[in-house]
Amino acid sequence: MLISVRDLKKDYREGEVVTNVLKGLSFDIHKGEFVSIMGPSGSGKSTLMHILSFLDKPTSGQYFFEDKEIGSLTDDQLAEMRSKKVGFIFQSFNLLNRANVLENVMLPMVYSGVSTAERILRAKNLLGEVGLDHRMYYNPANLSGGEKQRVAIARALVNNPEVIFADEPTGNLDSKSGYQVMKLLQELNEKGNTIILVTHEKYTAEHAERIINVKDGLIINDAKVAERQFAQSENQELRK
């Protein structure tokens, strides 16, 4: 089992006011799954993603990653887990404009003890895989939104993570670029990558195999997608 969550709760306190954000969630995610966590704004889905990706700790309950109980880890150990076990794709891309595309993709490896030659080789190979080897020396400011997100996907993959977290990855993209990104995520999943997609959009969520639907800090449904969406190509054609 890759991820196992039992009665997970998260509270935030401001003075005397306590806000219960997650109210006891339990689920499992197997290696190689493509899972969407879907819910409206304020549902708790982003807080859940932060805990699953080692950016935050639960108030109570248990979170096991590869059979390791995460709640007992120190901040330094959590940081090490983040750098080695997960890759992130964000709605706002989070690219550095002071660095070129190749340097942006190489960045996560700087803290992983990878040699410069190996960093360059991995980054170039991944940029080729996402169809951007001809843009590797461009500044991110000169890329389209879809190209920026493909750079972010390449960056998420450089440390061979166990799981890729995609937080509203099509939120800032037009429909054509969004299809390209979802197609790429589905292709990565077919190669064996575990992907957890966080979104508020049902249509985007249906590109996964399974949807965990969260509302008011609770799971209201957890089921396989009945009619899965498949992003086919750049021409905006889809099949079910």
CATH value at residue 89: 3.40.50.300
Residue 65 lies in a domain: no
Overall domain count for the chain: 1
The DSSP symbol for 71 reads G
pLDDT tens-digit profile of 45-98?
999 999 999 999 999 999 999 999 998 889 999 998 998 999 999 999 999 999
Q: Which residues lie across from 5 on neighbouring strands?
A: 27, 63
- Give the pLDDT confidence score for residue 110 in this predicted structure: 84
Which residues lie below 8 Å from residue 50, measured CB to CB, with a gap of 6+?
56
195 token code pair: 């992907």
What is the domain extent for residue 37?
32-58+74-224
Residue 107 lies in a domain: yes
Looking at every residue in the chain, the average pLDDT score rounds to 93
Query: Are 164 and 87 spatial neighbours (Cβ–Cβ below 8 Å)?
Result: yes
- Give the pLDDT confidence score for residue 232 in this predicted structure: 67
pLDDT tens-digit profile of 175-230?
999 999 999 999 999 999 999 999 999 999 999 999 999 999 999 999 999 999 99
- 3-class secondary structure, 124: helix
Query: Are 213 and 17 spatial neighbours (Cβ–Cβ below 8 Å)?
Result: no
From the list 56, 55, 76, 72, the residue with the least C-alpha distance to 64 is 72
The one-letter code for the residue type at 111 is: Y
In this predicted structure, the answer to whether residue 238 has a pLDDT above a threshold of 70 is: no
